Amino acid sequence: MSKGEVKNITFRIKRYDPEKGKTWWQEYKVPVRRGMTLVDVYLYIKENLDPSLAVRYSCRMGICGSCGVVINGKPSLACETQILELGTDVVTVEPLPNYPVVRDLVVDFTGFFEKHRMVKPYLIRRDVEEQENPTREYRMLPEEYDYMVQFSYCIKCGLCYAACPVPAIDSKFLGPQALAQAFRYMIDVRDEGLKERVLVVDSEHGCWRCHFADACSAVCPKGIDPAQGIQLLRRMLISMRLSGVKEKKGSPVMPPMPPETKPKPGVKAPPPRTVKPEEAMKRIVKE
Amino acid sequence: MSRRDKVKKLPNKGGLSRHLNPEYPKTEWTAEKWAFILHRLTGLFIIFYLLAHIWVTGHATSPESWSSIMSTLHTYKWLETTGEWLLWGAIVFHGLNGIRLILVEALGWGIGRPHRPIPPYLPYSNRSAQRPLLWLVVALTLIAWIVGGVILYQDVGLISW
Amino acid sequence: MVRESTLMTLHYIAAAIMVVVLTIHVLMHTPVLEKGYEVSLEYERVLEHYNVAWLDLAILLYAALFHGLNGLRVILIELHQGPVWEKAVSWTLLIIGIVAAIYGTWTLIEVV
């Protein structure tokens, strides 16, 4: 298809009206150009066809995590899905399953965020004084950082929770997102909150209710692998149970910076550590 | 009560009933999801068989009670043998897939190591050694099920050539 | 209250034990260790099995009951949630397990 060409595509959208308590499928015919995402289609529909359609989006670049919907049966971000790349003449759009629907494509994330909060997704240190008024950073090796970093790329879009087969029957299940976040802090070398998080994760509706359907990893838009994290979390809990380890010591605070040394005679002095813009200007003018 | 709480929300579960409803588009299931459902169904079948099996083998205390329970079971020979054949398939699949699950879930094997995500974002756990292992499990199950079935039906005299 | 990780660790250990024990049990009814399936169900052969492999059968009985009923518990607490339901499921399955284990042990002692 060449650059400016327009293709007419039918959008089959699942709608819900909370006042009347009615659900129905509605079809819209939209001329689609190359590069148009589903968010652009929303805007076209609201502008030209039907202003009553309720949608949710914010950043349009896959970082805010508010535009998750099910497109042609696959949970995806509306802003990152180019319509012509789907390759179908009829595109089906429906709200994410496993969440209560507020209206049309807008779902209620309250329960999802509550589960996220349950695993305490923040750094826990025993020395609160140092944590609140830090002298320097906590030590972390590059390998340790690489091991943990993918789980902290989570944007809480909720696609994994929608794809997972377990929350469909077990509404109390923590879900892939919360468990992956728990794992991210449990493997963080700086963290000391192992005990608190094990209490949440090692419960009747915690990580043991994952059955490795691997649906969460297949839909994550940020390349995170929640299924992998949950399996490794489980391995961690089993080895903790067998070895009896219950606590983890966080990595220490880095030692203070060495004081500036005087240059040896005959050796040229290094340039000053930081140069403010106005000082740099002065020096350039002087030279 | 705020206005937000008054809104009547629609419970929208993504369970099996949704997948059977023709209104929705066909969803692609990962192979692991099929394996999970099969593992669960075969497990349910085996646990009810186990309880019945413990009751049946309780008759082994005397020859009379043993022959009476055996003749009861042999009343519908085809049904009995077919049940046993299904049980054999269920046990082989549940066992072999169970070995895979012990490796993956308890030992963290075959799902790759956490790494910095590199575009295109393809998750490791979908592409690592556990996936080919699943195909191996399915292939071995089919072979064992069919071979075992032929031997079983021939042995009890329901088929012969 | 038993921790979930204790139960599930035992679940995996019981599974690993059963891979060995159940294989032996099944092979005793196949042409590998026996003349055939039909022959293995004759009363004398059954008695011999009990006497030869009583330890195998005992381990299998307890491992399979634990693994199976714990699996059933997992399925049931996923189907429906609530503290009353979860307690009821746990206690019912525990009682079924104890009764079945006692009955199986009694059979083993009677026959051997």
DSSP states of A264-281: PTTSPPPPPS---HHHHH
Domain membership flag for residue A269: no
* B29-113+120-155 topology per CATH: 3 helical TM bundles of succinate and fumarate reductases (1.20.1300)
Chain A residues within an 8 Å CB radius of C4: 202-204, 206, 208
Structural domain for A164, as ranges: 110-243
Token duo for residue A58: 């914010």
Map out the domains of chain B as residue ranges. 29-113+120-155
Residue A257 lies in a domain: no
Assigned domain for A265 exists: no
Binning pLDDT at 50, 70 and 90, where does residue A285 land?
Answer: confident
Mean pLDDT score of chain B, rounded to an integer? 89
Residues A37 and A50 in one domain: yes
A165 within domain boundaries: yes
What is the per-residue pLDDT for A145? 93
- Mean pLDDT (whole number) for A183-206: 92
**Last-in-domain residue among A44, A74, A107:** A107
For residue A3, pLDDT beyond 90:
no
Taking the domains of chain C in order of start, what are their residue ranges?
4-111
The verdict on A205 and A128 lying in the same domain is yes
Q: What CATH number did the domain enclosing A220 receive?
A: 1.10.1060.10
Give the integer Cα–Cα distance in Å for A37 and B82.
Answer: 53
| Dihedral pair phi/psi, residue B77, rounded to 5° | -60, -45
Query: Is A212–B105 a contact, with Cβ atoms under 8 angstroms apart?
Result: yes
Confidence at residue B161, expressed as pLDDT on a 0 to 100 scale: 66
List the single residue in A169, A172, A206 with the smallest CB-CB distance to C4.
A206
Answer yes or no: is pLDDT of A274 > 80.
Answer: no
The pLDDT-based confidence of B4 (bands split at 50, 70, 90) is low
A134 pLDDT more than 60: yes
Rounded mean pLDDT of A125-140? 89
Q: How far apart are CA A88 and CA A94, in angstroms?
A: 16
Asked whether residue A279 is domain-assigned, the answer is: no
- A208 touches C at CB < 8 Å: yes
Least confident span in A25-34, A230-239, A278-287: A278-287
Arithmetic mean of pLDDT, B81-100: 95
ipTM above 0.85, yes or no: yes
Residue B149 in this model has a pLDDT that exceeds 80: yes
Residue A258 in any domain: the answer is no
Residue among A212, A81, A186 at smallest CA distance from B104: A212
| A90 and A28 housed in the same domain | yes
pLDDT on residue A259: 78
pLDDT at B26: 77
| DSSP output for A212-256 | ---HHHHH-TT---HHHHHHHHHHHHHHHHHH-----PPPPBPPP
Residues 218-247 of A with CB under 8 A from B: 218, 220-225, 227-229, 231-232, 234-235, 238
Question: Considering CB atoms only, which of B26, B112, B115 is closest to A73?
Answer: B26
Tell which of A49, A76, A107 closes a domain.
A107
Q: Can you give the pTM of this predicted structure?
A: 0.89
Domain-terminating residue out of A107, A137, A172: A107
Per-residue pLDDT at A33: 92
A66 and A53 share one domain? yes
CATH number of C4-111: 1.20.1300
Structural domain tally of chain A?
2
Residue B1 has pLDDT above 70, yes or no: no
A63 shares its domain with A141 = no
Residues A154, A93 share a domain: no
DSSP string, A1-66: --TT-EEEEEEEEEEEETTTTEEEEEEEEEEEETT-BHHHHHHHIIIII-TT------SSSSSS--
Give the pLDDT score at A28: 95
Cis bond upstream, residue B120 (ω within 30): yes
Q: Taking residues A17-28, what's their average pLDDT?
A: 91
**Cβ-nearest to C100 among B51, B95, B155:** B51
Whole-number Cα distances in Å, B150 to B81, B82, C32: 11, 11, 15
Residue C2 predicted with pLDDT over 90: no
* pLDDT at site A1: 52
